[in-house]
Homo-oligomer: A and B are copies of this chain.
């Protein structure tokens, strides 16, 4: 990968922002980082930034595209159901002992597009099941964590297929830097201001205490009931260990927990989704009492159908998120094929696991108590985009009164 394509000063600043603003790594804390091999130059800068902030130990778990493909190309049946349970048990042990966690997002969005969707789904299910003991520390928000992005060559080539590789990387790097608020002499102050803005949006929604949101637009007429005692959040938030972090760099969304039993109507996706190394596009589903009862997609339908049958909760909502169409990421006009970016360019919903922090006092509730309030449970959590300039949203009060929330894709209040 040509080093010259990425501004080294900005890349170093991105690593610092990821550690200071994203993870908010504490002195003496361990850090566990997952990273594609293709992001190695950035991983090294993250290691330096973390040690400068006083990390006790920084350990990386790298995943490599070629090694991932070897399982499909050469693996036996056993390999399709195999996963490193031991690694995730260790991972869970680290998080249990208050390690912070960072993920570098840089994956090749179409790595597995040539593979049999049945096999892709089996491998993913095995991996999710193995990862469960570790991932609950993330979904419970027990520790401070963050995801930040690096413009790897395979990703950049997918986003800008018509550009020469070096130019594609440079262009994706620029978009990542702008969205991550690195184009700025004081990124930390820029993030503080941005977090305050997202907080004021959340505050308003929390004051309104809507019973449901009603989305309307082309192909969409969807009522998303909200969980009892749901809580809107966005930007930075305190994790259970007391450390306030920004889980996503960048982020433009405010989001909450829908009610797993009270979602009804139809919805059409507005952007393609890169999931398990395959592009899924043109999703249309119908919900009845919270559950998807009809589903199709114009592209990647087999992978989508496999995904929503991963478990009982995989066909119910675990998140609903509001993002104005005028968001800076949306304004770039780039389709990133990466949820970290695309979900911050449009309103979206997620199938699968809900976030405990999106329910009042959720950190102190048992799984059963969260389920009772309508919080969904699943091994998956997959966001997909339903927002556009043509979407209107009303908040529905408990007495049935509608309140305009979005008009033509923009905040209306």
CB interface residues, A 33-92, toward B, < 8 Å: 37, 40, 43-44, 47-48, 51-52, 54-62, 64, 66-67, 70-71, 73-76, 78-79, 81-91
Given contacts A43-B67, A48-B73, A90-B88, contact A60 B62 (CB under 8 A): yes
A97 in contact (CB, < 8 A): yes
- Cβ-defined contact, A52 with B64, below 8 A: no
Given contacts A48-B70, A59-B87, contact A30 B97 (CB under 8 A): no
Q: Which residues of B contact A85 (CB under 8 A)?
A: 93-94, 97
For residue A130, which residue of chain B has the nearest CB?
B57
Minimum C-beta distance from A370 to chain B (A): 27
A112 in contact (CB, < 8 A): no
Interface size, A (range): 35 or more
Q: Which residues of B contact A89 (CB under 8 A)?
A: 89-90, 93
Between-chain CB contacts (< 8 Å), 21 pairs: A27-B76, A32-B84, A32-B86, A44-B64, A44-B66, A51-B73, A51-B75, A52-B74, A54-B76, A55-B78, A55-B79, A56-B82, A58-B71, A59-B84, A59-B87, A85-B93, A85-B97, A86-B94, A86-B99, A87-B94, A89-B90
Given contacts A64-B40, A93-B90, A99-B86, contact A56 B70 (CB under 8 A): no
Minimum C-beta distance from A359 to chain B (A): 29
Bound form: Cα–Cα A32–B83 in Å: 11
The SS class assigned to the A binding surface is helix
Q: Which residues of B contact A87 (CB under 8 A)?
A: 59, 87, 90, 94
**Copies of this chain held together in the complex:** 2
Contact with B along A305-320 (1 / 0, CB 8 A): 0000000000000000
Q: Which residues of B contact A59 (CB under 8 A)?
A: 84, 87
Minimum C-beta distance from A152 to chain B (A): 15
Q: Which residues of B contact A62 (CB under 8 A)?
A: 37, 60, 62
Contact with B along A286-320 (1 / 0, CB 8 A): 00000000000000000000000000000000000
Given contacts A40-B37, A59-B84, A93-B86, contact A51 B64 (CB under 8 A): no
**Which residues of A are in contact with B by a Cβ distance under 8 Å?**
27-28, 30, 32, 37, 40, 43-44, 47-48, 51-52, 54-62, 64, 66-67, 70-71, 73-76, 78-79, 81-91, 93-95, 97, 99
Bound form: Cα–Cα A296–B294 in Å: 78
Bound form: Cα–Cα A28–B79 in Å: 8
Bound form: Cα–Cα A61–B62 in Å: 7
Bound form: Cα–Cα A89–B54 in Å: 23
Minimum C-beta distance from A128 to chain B (A): 14
Bound form: Cα–Cα A146–B51 in Å: 33
For residue A95, which residue of chain B has the nearest CB?
B86
Bound form: Cα–Cα A335–B90 in Å: 38
For residue A123, which residue of chain B has the nearest CB?
B57
Q: Which residues of B contact A82 (CB under 8 A)?
A: 30, 55-57
- Cβ-defined contact, B28 with A78, below 8 A: yes
- Cβ-defined contact, A86 with B91, below 8 A: yes
